[in-house]
Amino acid sequence: MPGHPNLAIGIGDIRNAAGRLGHRVRRTPVLSLDRLGILVKCESLQGIGAFKIRGATNAILGLRPAGVVTSSSGNHGMAVAAAAAAVRITAVVVMPDNATAYKREAVTRLGAEVLTSPPETAARDAACAAVAAERGLTPIPAYDHPLVIAGQGTCGLEIAEQVPEAATVVVPLGGGGLLSGVAVALRDAMGARVRIVGVEPFDGDDTVRSLRAGRRVVIPAPRTICDGARNTVPGELTFPIVEALVDDLLAVGDDEVVEAMRALAAAGLVVEPTGALAVAGALRMPAPGRRGPVVCVVSGRNIAPEEHARLLLGEGGPG
């Protein structure tokens, strides 16, 4: 893109993704939460319950593989399983041993084979690469692939069309696929007038630390309740995009995430912890930082009902 020619994707890639996805993913609504003074882009209302269906579908349609493998804590695995089933190909999902039973069962129900690995990003990726080599499957990374990033960027295209007057857009941050894709789309559509903010958990702040260090750094396996943001190192492709195009990053505590989940539940939205990161970040911002329309991407809803109730009721606290 202009001014940043070396980034992994440009706006053309996102527009191509939008053409591929067509009716295959939902154009999710933007709702106003008047009591909180924010707008929410409800990716939790995708068919699989998360934005990940955008990137997984775009990658599978773009690559046309005979079979696929990925590593995922849950939502990307569900997306790959669903996208693979839609085109009738085999899918294997390598899940960390600390993945929730709820998400593991959801991936299985969608038709994928589930394998288990240690939770560290490097271990998961190594296990995925081994399966790919052994079985001749095509890897579909959770975030660090141009087609995946471009697919997630279609969420940003929709935000620019639905809220062209947005002053701030706040996005959950795990590996950076959603944030980097949305940033490319918004910078093209809205330029510097929109403030783009990424939010990750305190105990999974690999990107915050990496920006501070000026390079990608590895952190210990996070223990946050935000299972979709337990990355130990930012993506090789996503980190330069975040570094170039994102205005600010915030790290929030699990207690703030639970408060955001409660606020969203009061508005009628079931949201998993990772999905509530952006709202937690927006509520942390001082009032001057929330002038003008603030759009928060609510990225997913996939949490067991009993766990959702436990967190909202404060039984045992986050953990």
DSSP the chain: -TT-TTSS--HHHHHHHHHHHGGGS----EEEETTTTEEEEEGGGSTTSBTHHHHHHHHHHHH--SEEEEE-SSHHHHHHHHHHHHTT-EEEEEEETTS-HHHHHHHHHTT-EEEEE-SSHHHHHHHHHHHHHHHTPEE--SSSSHHHHHHHHHHHHHHHHH-TT-SEEEEE-SSSHHHHHHHHHHHHHHGGGSEEEEEEEGGG-HHHHHHHHTS----PPP--S-GGG--SS--TTHHHHHHHH--EEEEE-HHHHHHHHHHHHHTT----TGGGHHHHHHHHS-GGGG-S-EEEEE-B----HHHHHHHHHTSS---
Instruction: Point out the catalytic residue in the list 13, 43, 120, 206.
Output: 206
Q: Is 73 a catalytic residue?
A: yes
Beta bridge partners of 295: 39, 169
* Whole-number Å distance between alpha carbons of 204 and 269: 25
Q: Return the sign of the alpha-carbon dihedral for residues 58, 62, 65, 70.
A: negative
Q: Is 210 a catalytic residue?
A: no
Q: Is 52 a catalytic residue?
A: yes
Instruction: Point out the catalytic residue in the list 158, 200, 243, 254.
Output: 200
Q: Is 200 a catalytic residue?
A: yes
Instruction: Point out the catalytic residue in the list 44, 52, 117, 181.
Output: 52
List residues with catalytic annotation. Answer: 52, 73, 200, 204, 206, 299
